[in-house]
């Protein structure tokens, strides 16, 4: 039985508790920590299976509680690194919500604490466990589409003006960034998972519709890759991160030398006429092979947060590794940091970002970041449902 403490019992803790509720034979939620303990008490009412959990307001009160094996951090981004490193150094395994942290220095501090103490560190990236994303990755890994030449990542979300009225959202100090860090983090994680680290990045960040936030609500980035056995030399990816897109039509399209595949799932595969123009008929044999492979992949037993929590519990039970570890969360933060740096400095950024780079630290990044607008409202809670 794995004993778990949840730190931060706001919106997203509900998804974690819905997941744990299906695994009561494997784990037990023994403590809830929230600087607003009334949020934790509310969660206890929502989820009778955690009625016995103790509630405290300061994580330091349970730091040395030897009965706790795993700590699940669901606080705002600015305190992920501090809390994660403290618990890893106290000998606990750690799950941390996205984004892993506000800077590469914070990520490295967390990874070093996990390595030193030989504890598991997993970063929430629940979209890796979506059936269509998981199957896209497996299909890409077959190499059937040839080397990748282009990827299109549309991280299209829509959030109304009041979204940034929550106290910790909309400032570089507490949210760590805007939609690139907090929304597109999901799609940038998928891209990093599928294609790895690019060689360089160009980008522009902007704020078009939220004059109550310091941070960006829109960014467009272009990533260039060096060649490998999987990626054509000079391959490009375009990543749009947005909270201004009505319809929220999200997609990740990968164009290979021989075919295109995507989530949502769609395949196309042109063949050339002698003059290079596409034949009227596509490569039906390859399209069939790709559809057959994709269609034969088994569905995952769970989706989203539940699937990822199952993956983490299984890693702890078997001594294995989680699908999304510290290095995965760090790569995502590196790509996002590069997008910010490229836009702020107005020039292309070459990767990797070194630890002597001014953008490596939270202080360095927040000092240079543009304040698009001043944040004026600081609501403790906002009513309404959330969508992940």
Structure tokens at 228: 């490998």
Beta strands at 251-256 and 148-156: parallel, antiparallel or unpaired: antiparallel
Structure tokens at 50: 């955690």
Give the shortest CB-23-to-ligand NAD separation in angstroms. 18
Q: Which CB, 84 or 232, lies closer to ligand NAD?
A: 84
**Residue 180 contacts ligand NAD per CB under 6 A:** no
**Residue 12 contacts ligand NAD per CB under 6 A:** yes
Q: What mask of x and - would describe binding to ligand NAD in positions 104 to 143, judged by CB under 6 A?
A: --------------------x-x-----------------
**Residue 100 contacts ligand NAD per CB under 6 A:** no
Residue among 7, 121, 252, 309 that touches ligand NAD (CB under 6 A): 7
User: How far apart are alpha carbons 21 and 374 in whole angstroms?
Assistant: 41
**Residue 34 contacts ligand NAD per CB under 6 A:** yes
Within its chain, how far is the Cα of 283 from the centroid?
A: 35
**Residue 250 contacts ligand NAD per CB under 6 A:** no
Q: How many residues bind ligand NAD (CB under 6 A)?
A: 23
Number of neighbouring beta carbons within 10 Å of residue 315: 17
**Residue 332 contacts ligand NAD per CB under 6 A:** no
Q: What mask of x and - would describe binding to ligand NAD in positions 300 to 319, judged by CB under 6 A?
A: --------------------
Q: What mask of x and - would describe binding to ligand NAD in positions 46 to 85, judged by CB under 6 A?
A: -------------x--------------xxxx-x------
**Selection from 253, 246, 141, 280 nearest residue 187 by Cα:** 253
**Residue 176 contacts ligand NAD per CB under 6 A:** no
Q: Which CB, 297 or 386, lies closer to ligand NAD?
A: 386
**Residue 178 contacts ligand NAD per CB under 6 A:** no
- What is the per-residue DSSP string for 57-119? S-GGGGTT-TT--EEEE-S-GGGHHHHHHHHHHTT-EEEEPSS--SSHHHHHHHHHHHHHHT-
Contact yes or no for 297/168 (Cβ under 8 A)? no
Question: For residues 141-166, b (16+ Cβ closer than 10 Å) or e, as one string?
Answer: eeebbebbbebbbbbbbebeeebbbb
**Residue 35 contacts ligand NAD per CB under 6 A:** yes
Instruction: Report the interface residues with ligand NAD, using CB under 6 A.
Output: 7-12, 33-36, 39, 59, 74-77, 79, 97-98, 124, 126, 182, 388
């Amino acid at each position: 039985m794995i004993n778990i403490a949840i730190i931060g019992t706001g919106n997203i803790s509900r998804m974690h508790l819905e997941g744990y509720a299906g695994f009561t034979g494997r784990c037990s939620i023994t403590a809830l920590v929230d600087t607003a303990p009334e949020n934790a008490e509310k969660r206890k009412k929502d989820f009778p299976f955690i009625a016995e959990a103790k509630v405290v307001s300061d994580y330091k009160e349970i730091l040395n509680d030897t009965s706790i094996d795993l700590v699940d951090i669901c606080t705002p981004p600015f305190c992920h690194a501090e809390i994660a490193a403290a618990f890893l150094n106290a000998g606990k395994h750690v799950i941390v919500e996205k984004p892993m942290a506000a800077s590469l220095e914070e990520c490295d501090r967390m990874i070093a604490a996990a390595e030193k103490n030989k504890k598991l560190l997993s970063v929430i990236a629940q979209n890796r466990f979506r059936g269509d994303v998981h199957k896209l990755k497996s299909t890409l890994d077959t190499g059937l589409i040839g080397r990748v030449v282009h990827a299109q990542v549309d991280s299209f979300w829509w959030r109304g003006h009041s979204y940034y009225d929550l106290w910790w959202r909309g400032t570089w100090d507490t949210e760590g960034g805007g939609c690139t860090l907090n929304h597109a983090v999901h799609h940038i994680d998928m891209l990093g998972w599928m294609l790895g680290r690019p060689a360089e990045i160009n980008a522009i960040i902007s704020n078009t519709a939220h004059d109550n936030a310091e941070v960006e609500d829109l960014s467009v980035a272009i990533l260039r890759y060096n060649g490998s056995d999987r990626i054509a030399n000079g391959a490009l990816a375009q990543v749009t991160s947005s909270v201004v897109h009505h319809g929220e039509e999200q997609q990740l399209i990968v164009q290979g030398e021989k075919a295109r595949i995507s989530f949502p799932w769609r395949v196309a595969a042109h063949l050339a006429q002698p003059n290079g123009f596409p034949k009227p008929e596509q490569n039906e044999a390859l399209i069939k092979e790709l559809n057959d492979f994709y269609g034969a992949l088994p569905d995952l037993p769970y989706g989203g947060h539940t699937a990822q929590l199952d993956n983490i519990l299984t890693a702890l039970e078997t001594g294995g590794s989680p699908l999304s570890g510290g290095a995965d969360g760090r790569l995502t933060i590196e790509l996002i940091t590069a997008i910010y740096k490229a836009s702020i400095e107005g020039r292309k950024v070459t990767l990797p970002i070194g630890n002597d780079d001014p953008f490596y630290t939270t202080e360095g990044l927040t000092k240079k970041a543009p304040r698009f607008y001043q944040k004026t409202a600081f609501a403790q809670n906002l009513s309404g449902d959330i969508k992940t």
